[in-house]
Structures are given as structure tokens and as C-alpha cells.
Structure 1
Amino acid sequence: MKYYIIAGEPSGDLHASNLMKSLVKEDNDFDCRFWGGDLMKKVGGEMVRHYNETAFMGIKEVLVNLGKIRANFKLCKSDLLKYNPDVLVLVDYPGFNLRMAEFAHKKGIKVFYYISPKIWAWNTGRVKKIKAYVDKMFTILPFETDFYKTHQVPIDYVGNPVLDAIENRPHKNEDLETFKERNQLDNRPIVALLAGSRQQELNNVLPVMISMIKHFPDYQFVIAGAPSFTIDDYKPFIQDEEVKVIFNETYELVQQAHGALVTSGTATLETALLECPQIVCYKMWGGKTITKFVKRFILKVKYISLVNLIVNKEAVKEIIQDDLNETNVQLELEKLLNNQDYRINIFNHYNQLHQIMGKPGTSDRAAKLMVKALRS
């Protein structure tokens, strides 16, 4: 069968690539065109656009690139019709993918959505579009499954693809000494900095993370380089600070770190599943007035990190918006690194998370259900 897959970010590229591997095993006639990244390209099929050419985040960046965005929509629509797939598979990336879902549905093309956009957190009104234009949702989180059931959206819960990615990670059994030697790190314990994959996340969060270096000289701070960036993107923030950037080894870094500062997103869940104590740091544009408005009228959930949302309690500390400053992060990081009771409490919550999340195999389960639905 013919699959048209759209992923617009590094995490989408990772999970879509694993889904493609499973679809290849499940469907002997697998054929694919896609919008995504290098990991999807390694599996096979034909890439139409790399996510580096399509990911525009934030109001300013969107306005500056309106012409490119319109051109991308035009190209995607014409390419989709020309290819005429059996199904359009959408992976997160709601700003683009929900519009493509509407277009494909109106053209009579079946639409599957794998990895739901976080409409349960920010914009519950979008569920109407999903119900109208998506033939089936393949959900990856227990609480979002309940959300879609409430709105009578056709769903299959398949577990979380992060479990597959972590299970299949390189250097899974590597020890700390080998990791440090391989990456030319010294003997001090590691604090991992996961500052996100978007420029505004670097601008708003990384400076506070970097400010911790001078307060904890007995630790070495290491930035997990995002695949969408190069070392030149980090240099303005690092300047003369003693911090190393390691690319393409986020899981390996987190696995060996004594603690981590993590920008909200999938990375918080990955860090927890890798058993690394963390503090969640997040700040978007705007001051106190914007923060109050967002909390009151836009944000629909109690927490912002997936870890806390899944266990439904504050398993890890969230420092967000105007509270995200050097003093607050320093006080919390001191406890995270040196208070054994504090760390044990986090590990206990991580055990609960593991029990809720279940076992790997998400990609295979999703592929089997997709192929079964298409053949029926």
C-alpha cells in the first residue's frame, strides 16, 4: 500500500522512522513519500521536504516566512494528489497537519493521526477538526486517550514510541567511564542541559541553565545538542563558560547524568524513563500579564511536563515563566544534586511512571492496527 507521511520536527522524524520500519515488516507492498528528516530517509521511500525547510515556530518567524509556508502547503497538496496514497499518516505538527487532514479528507483520502497534537493542553476546540477530518487517532498517552473518548473520536491506544526509541538506543549498556572517555569529559559528575530544539527555547531558557555553571563547580555541564542546530547556534550563549555540547547522543548523555535541566516537552518523559532526576524549565514570550492570561484562559491542564501529567502529581519540579530565574533554579538544583531524600522521591515517582507506561512495542502495534484498518 501507499503511505504519505508528514512529520515536522526532530521527535516526529524519530517516531515516524520507527513506525515506517514496522510498516515495512507488516506490509510487503509498503511504498512511501514523506515530509520528515534524515532518520525517515534511512528507512526508505522518497522525501519531499526536510523538516529544516518547514519548521517555523513563533509569531515573528511565521510572519517572516509566510511566503514559504504558503508554498509548502501548495506543494504538499499537489504532491499528495499526484501520489494518491491509500492513507495520509500525520505525526504531531498540528499547525500544518490539521490543515492537511482537512484537505485530504475532502479529497477522499483516508487520514490517520499518530502522536496527537497537544490540543488537550492548549486548544481543545481543535478536537472538532480531528473528529471531522481524521479517520482514526493512534494515541500514545493514557490521559489523551480518555480525552478523545470523551469527544467520541475513533481511537486506538498503542503505547508510547519513546519506549521503543529508548529500548533501541545505541550504547545502551555503556558505563559512565567509557562515555566520559569517548566524549573527552573529565571525572566530575554530569549535569545534562536539554534546552529544546527551537530558537526561542534557546533564547528564553538556555541562559538560565548556563548561569548554573558558576554555582556548581564540582559538576560538569553538558548541553545535548539538538539535531536542528549546529555548534554555532550555541556559541552566543556559551561564550567563555566551561560547557561542552554533544550532538546525536541525548539518550547516552541523560543516561549517564547525575541530574538534568530539561525544557518541557517529550524530553521530560525521555529523561524520566532513563532514570535521570530532572527539573523542568520553560518560558515563552511575554511577562506576568501574558502568563496570567495563558494560565486562566488557554492552558487547560494542571502541569506542563508529560511526567507530571501522566502520574497526575508533581513528580518533578516545574519552574516556568516568570519563576524561571537564576535564584530559583539554583535553589532547586542544589536539592536535586545533593539531597538524597529529594532524589529518592523522584525515583519513586519514576517507578510509578514505568508501571503506567508499560512495555516497548508501540511502533509494531501501531503498524499492525494501521495495516489491518486499511485492508478491511
Structure 2
Amino acid sequence: MCWWSRTSPGWSKIGPGYYFLPPQIWAWAGFRKYFIKKWVDQVISVFPFEYRFYKKVGIETFYFKNPLLSHLKSYRRRDFRCRIGLMPGSRFDQIKRNLVVMRKLIKEFYKFKNNIEFCLILYDRVDSLKVQIPAQIKVITQNRYQAMKDCDLLIISSGTASLEARIMSIPQIFVHRPAVFDYYFFRRFIRIKEYNLANLYFNNRDVPAYISPDSNYLSEKLFNHIQDILPSLGLKW
């Protein structure tokens, strides 16, 4: 927490400043480190890689172990039906774009196999959004973590959900369909080559990731990848 007072011609700090969950300067807009150095006494981070980055650029940083770690590891699977969970994100525009990919995947999937259940796992706050959902897809908005644990595989479009699934040891594929402008414009300013939060957190590339504005490309990649890994999940093709 920081306190500032208004003075002429600008602002001055009147107390120690702490920044909990700081900006992602390790990913883009690195110039913000100068503002943080000037106005913040200590950064508090819940990500090990972020902690290391801030220390490296000379900013006093404290690592606060993510409280979700022990909580998420306590979940046990209860429903053992063959199930693939779809998690298209939390924001409406994100859900809308990624669901296009997931609908194409399901349509192609059911041409060959129909004994696996698909469920759509949404955040509670997006339950009322008017999103086109295939009739055969079960929608889950309650007990999200248990719903995730009850899946054989998760198709995830959210970095936070991907990290949660990784902590819970649930097989997953990360897929994200950004807007065309965002994909080609902002990628020039991104400093990192790894976009998946789970891979960044654990410093590996265990989670396969597909990112493209092309829905046909993504659905094809997903279909082929799922087809390849089904036997390892104990599911027959």
C-alpha cells in the first residue's frame, strides 16, 4: 500500500509503498520498472519467476507463497465418467473467440467418437452471459475446482486456470485465440517466448500451447493433439 499527497506541481509519497501482485513488466512494457523503483519500497509477488525478475532489475521484492497451492492439491476426483472440460476464459470477448474454436473441435470430434462427455466450465460471474453453447455440452458454473478435477483432460484459454490445473495435476492443452489486431500488433512488444503461466511458474514446457487468431488452425491442432494423447489418458479412440 502506498500513500501520496498532492503537492504543486505533482505528487509526493508520504509513507512506505508496497505493491502486491505487481504489473507484468517481465512480459511487456519493461520501462515501468523505473516508476516502480521510484515510488515503491517493496514488491510482493506470488510467482517465483516474477520474484526473480524483479530482484534482477534491482527492485526490493518479497516472495509470498501462493495460498492456492495447498488448497488445490486437496481435491480428489469423484466423477469418473470420460470427460473433457472446456475453459474458454473469464471475459466475454475472450469466451466468444475461444468458443468458436471449441465448437469446431466438438463438431469434428463427434464425427468419430461420441462416448466422451464435453463440459463447459465457466466462472460464476459469466453464467448469465448470452453465449452460444452446443446443446450436447454440459455447462458448469459451481464448484469449479471439483469440476476441473473430474475431467480427464482440460482445454484451457486462461493463464490462471492453466496454472490451477497444473497444480492439481490435471492433463491440459492451452489454446488461445486473440483478436487479429492484438496478435499482430502487441506481439512486437512482448519480451517473452513462453506465454503459458503454468509453464512460466514451474519453469518448464509441460503444458502444450497453441495461440493463433485462426480458428480453423487451432481446432485442427487441438483435434490432432487430443487424438494423439487419448491412449495415454486411458481413453480409447
Q: Which amino acid is 2:21 matched to?
A: I
Q: State yes or no: 1:176 paired with 2:79.
A: yes
Supply the distance in 2 between the matched residues of 1:174 and 1:320 (Cα, whole angstroms).
29
**1:236-315 to 2 correspondences below 5 Å:** 236-238=131-133, 240-286=134-180, 291-295=183-187, 297-315=188-206
Q: Is the CA contact 1:114–1:138 (under 8 Å) kept in the aligned structure 2? A: yes
Q: How many residues align?
A: 224
Supply the distance in 2 between the matched residues of 1:271 and 1:103 (Cα, whole angstroms).
43
Tell me the SS of whatever aligns to 1:113: strand
- Provide closer, same or farther for how the CA distance between residues 271 and 200 of structure 1 changes in structure 2, counting only shifts above 3 A: same
Tell me the SS of whatever aligns to 2:222: helix
Supply the distance in 2 between the matched residues of 1:212 and 1:150 (Cα, whole angstroms).
42
What root-mean-square deviation, in Å, do the aligned CA atoms of Structure 1 and Structure 2 show? Answer: 2.6
Larger RCO (CA under 8 A, 6+ residues apart): 2
Q: State yes or no: 1:225 paired with 2:131.
A: no
TM-score, with structure 2 as normaliser: 0.83
Supply the distance in 1 between the matched residues of 2:148 and 2:32 (Cα, whole angstroms).
34
CA displacement at 1:125 relative to structure 2: 1.6
Higher helix share: 1
- Provide closer, same or farther for how the CA distance between residues 197 and 109 of structure 1 changes in structure 2, counting only shifts above 3 A: farther
- Report runs of 4+ in structure 1 exceeding 6 Å deviation: 101-105
Tell me the SS of whatever aligns to 1:211: helix
Q: State yes or no: 1:209 paired with 2:102.
A: yes
Other-structure match for 1:339:
231
Of 330, 335, 340, the residue aligned with 2:223 is 330
Supply the distance in 2 between the matched residues of 1:102 and 1:191 (Cα, whole angstroms).
50
CA displacement at 1:115 relative to structure 2: 2.1
Other-structure match for 1:63:
none
- Provide closer, same or farther for how the CA distance between residues 165 and 334 of structure 1 changes in structure 2, counting only shifts above 3 A: same
Supply the distance in 2 between the matched residues of 1:194 and 1:103 (Cα, whole angstroms).
43
- Provide closer, same or farther for how the CA distance between residues 272 and 206 of structure 1 changes in structure 2, counting only shifts above 3 A: same
Unaligned runs of 5+ in 1: 1-86, 89-100, 178-187, 345-376
CA displacement at 1:107 relative to structure 2: 4.9
**1:1-376 to 2 correspondences below 5 Å:** 87=1, 106-167=12-73, 172-173=75-76, 175-176=78-79, 188-214=81-107, 215-216=109-110, 217-230=114-127, 232-233=128-129, 235-238=130-133, 240-286=134-180, 291-295=183-187, 297-322=188-213, 324=215, 325-336=218-229, 338-340=230-232
